[in-house]
Amino acid sequence: MRPPLISVEEVTKSFTKKGAIGGKDERFKVLGGVTFEVKPGSFTSVIGPSGCGKTTLFRIIDGLIRPDSGRVVFNGDPVTAPPSKMGFVFQQFGLLPWRTVLKNVEFGLELRGVDSSERESIARKYIEVVGLGGFENHYVHEISAGMQQRVGLARALTIDPDVLLMDEPFASVDEQTRQILQKQLLQIVKGTVQKTTLFVTHSVDEAIALSDEIVLLGNRPARVKETISVNLPPERWTYDIRADPEYGRLWRRIWKFLEDEVMEAGGFGPAPSQPTALRVAPEATSHPPMPGRASSGADPGAPVQ
């Protein structure tokens, strides 16, 4: 059995909230000991209630911030700084508006000192992979939001990462574009280039549509409550998974988990102790005449003869 590509081991993280002038600072815990593994070749999604620390967890996994305790192991080595073989795709596209599509895709290679002819060749390859051939010389403002996100994906792929980390990359696009991008992403990471992927989302639908495994995080301070295997065929871009009974079963299970977590945290407020009486507006005693018509004294609510 192959060892996990990423191992998250009892990771905790707290932050300090500054108090008012003269007041005390407040320490609050975001992650309460998160543990899970990402298998080589898998697509793993992380989902949980809003504000439970998913993005903080990702920043720890990719080495941008340090945990208070616990550790992340990638390719057998503890993560203490951003690893060179992790590719990042974030919700904000992070594209440079003064650069063309080609030059944006080249950017990561440029920072690594790859010579111009080699990086152009690599960039053009991945522009084709994400379906943007013919748009190499367009600027960011000349392409759609969905195309911009594909530019970000192409840029991440140019470094040939061992794993793609994607933090809600489709959150800012419309639903139609989102579902198209989901299928295109699966075709790429499960077919064309085959990359292990770790994905954060707020969408139950998206988690099921994309994932081999779904990690469920609880309320803050977050811990892993459950890891769910998604028993749907891997080539999901070839058919409508939402018509599959397994999709419906998983959706209800995950949604019930999220709903229970929100209710446990009091997210909808306390339930009323007494049923609230329905308030009915008092019946009007008179009605003004319609403009341009004299009042006839008849009931304005009566049907027209």
Which tens digit of pLDDT belongs to each residue from 221-263? Answer: 999 999 999 998 878 888 888 889 999 999 999 999 999 998 8
Q: What is the pTM of this model?
A: 0.82
The C-alpha atoms of residue 64 and residue 141 are separated, in whole angstroms, by 29
pLDDT at 102: 96
Alpha carbon dihedral 244, 246, 248, 253, in 10-degree steps, equals -170
According to DSSP H, which parts of the chain are helical? Answer: 54-61, 101-111, 116-129, 145-157, 175-187, 204-210, 245-264
Count CB atoms within 10 A of the CB of residue 228: 18
Query: Residue 274 pLDDT > 60, yes or no?
Result: no
Quote the pLDDT of residue 201: 93
Q: What percent of the chain has pLDDT over 70?
A: 85
pLDDT value at 294 more than 60? no
- Judged by DSSP in three states, 148 sits in helix
Q: At what angle do helices 116-129 and 145-157 cross, to 10 degrees?
A: 130
User: Over the stretch 50-69, which tens digit does the pLDDT of each residue have?
Assistant: 888 898 999 999 999 999 99
Q: Dmax of the chain from CA atoms? A: 89
Identify the pLDDT of residue 285: 47
Determine the pLDDT at residue 169. Answer: 86
Q: Is the pLDDT of residue 295 over 50?
A: no
Q: What is the pLDDT of residues 92-119, one digit of tens each?
A: 768 899 999 999 999 989 989 999 999 9
> Which of 82, 40, 87 minimizes the C-alpha distance to 63?
82
pLDDT for residue 178 = 87
Residues 172, 178, 184, 188, CA torsion sign: positive
Please, which pLDDT band fits residue 289 given cuts at 50, 70 and 90? low
pLDDT at 283 over 70: no
- The pLDDT of residue 280 is 52
> Alpha-carbon distance 199 to 57, whole Å?
11
**Which of 36, 24, 66, 253 has its CA nearest to residue 45?**
36
Q: Is 120 left (phi over 0), alpha (psi -120 to 50) or beta?
A: alpha
The model's pLDDT over 149-204, given as tens digits with 9 standing for 90+, comes to 899 999 999 999 999 999 988 887 888 888 888 888 999 998 889 899 999 999 99
Are 12 and 70 within 8 A, CB to CB?
yes
Is 145 a residue whose pLDDT tops 50? yes
In this predicted structure, the answer to whether residue 133 has a pLDDT above a threshold of 80 is yes
Q: Distance between CA 209 and CA 239 in Å, rounded?
A: 11
Length of the chain: 305
> How does residue 302 score in pLDDT terms, banded at 50, 70 and 90?
very low
- Where is 30: in which H helix or E strand? strand 26-38
Share the mean pLDDT of the chain: 85
Residue 146 — pLDDT band, cuts 50, 70, 90? confident
Rama region for 77: left / alpha / beta (φ>0; ψ in -120 to 50; rest): beta
Cβ-based neighbours of 261, under 8 Å, separated by 6 or more: 48, 49, 52, 218, 219, 225
By the 8 A CB rule, do 216 and 47 touch? yes
Amino acid 302 reads: A
